[in-house]
Amino acid sequence: MNHKLTMARVEFKYTPHDITDKDVLYEDNHLIAVNKRAGDIVQVDETGDEPLDEKVKKYIAHKYSKPNGAFLGVVHRLDRPVSGVILFAKTSKALDRINQMFKKREMHKTYYAVVRKRPYPEEGTLVHWLVKNPQKNVTKAHDKEVQGSLRSELHYKLVGEQDGYYLIEVDPITGRPHQIRVQLSTLGCPIVGDNKYGYPRGSLRKNICLHARRLQFIHPIKKEPVLITAPVPQDGFWEKFEGMMR
C-alpha cells in the first residue's frame, strides 16, 4: 500500500492546569496514577514551571484536607512532550517497594507512537547502546557498546495505519532517557513532532506523538494485579487511533 507522505505540522494545545478527579486514573492509600498531559514536566526544572508532582500534592492535600501538605514520591518520569500514565507513591513504604520493582523490571509499560514511515520490519526488537549528552539533553544510539553507554532494548510492532500515519505499539524492556524516541528514529521512523530526533518539523507546542498507554504490575502492598490505562489526548488527532489500541 502506497501513501503520499506530506509533512504536516501537528499542533497540541497546552495551558497550565490543576489536577482534578478526571485526571486521576488510579488511587488507593498507597499509590496514585494520573494521565499526564503533553507539556507537563514531572519534576521541577530550569523553566520554573509548576511540575506535575507539586500539582498532585496539592490535589491530595485538598481532597483529604491535609493543611500541612501531602507526601508524594516520584517513581518514574515521562519526557515533557509525552502524554500518558504516570505513577506516584503516597507513602514511603510504597515508594521503596515500587523503586525496587522498577529496578527488577517488574513494572510493565506499553507506549504508542505515531510515525509517518511504515516500519520495516513491521515487528521486531531493537537493541542499542545509548549515551546521553546532559548539556544538550540529547541521547545518541550506538550499534555497539561504547564508553559510558547503557544497553537499551525495546519490542515494537505496527498495529494500524490512518491517513498515511502509522501507529506503533512499543514495549520497552529497559528504561533509558529518550529511549523510545531515539531507537525508533534509528529504525528510520522518527515520532511525529519530534524534531529533536529526526522528524522534519516540530509541533507548535513542542509536543510529540508518544503516549504512555498502560502500566501493569503487582501492587507492592496489596499483592494483587494492577492494570492502569490512560485514554489518549482529546486533541482531534489521537482519537483516530484509540480504537486500534489495547
Name the residues annotated as catalytic: 79
Q: For residues 165 and 115, is the Cβ–Cβ distance under 8 A? A: yes
Q: How far is it, in rounded angstroms, from Cα 94 to Cα 158?
A: 35
- Reply yes or no: is the peptide bond before residue 231 cis, omega within 30 of 0: no
Say which amino acid occupies 85. Answer: V
Distance of alpha carbon 168 from alpha carbon 191, whole angstroms? 10
Phi, psi for residue 160 in degrees, rounded to 5: -175, 165
HSE of 27 in the Cβ direction (CA atoms, 13 Å)? 15
Beta bridge partners of residue 34, listed in sequence order: 24, 86
Here the contacts of 236-241 (C-beta below 8 Å, separation 24 or greater) are 237/10, 237/12, 237/209, 238/114, 238/209, 238/211, 240/162, 240/163, 240/165, 241/112, 241/114, 241/160, 241/162, 241/165, 241/167
Helix (H) or strand (E) holding 208: none
Query: Left, alpha or beta for 143 (phi > 0: left; psi -120 to 50: alpha)?
Result: alpha
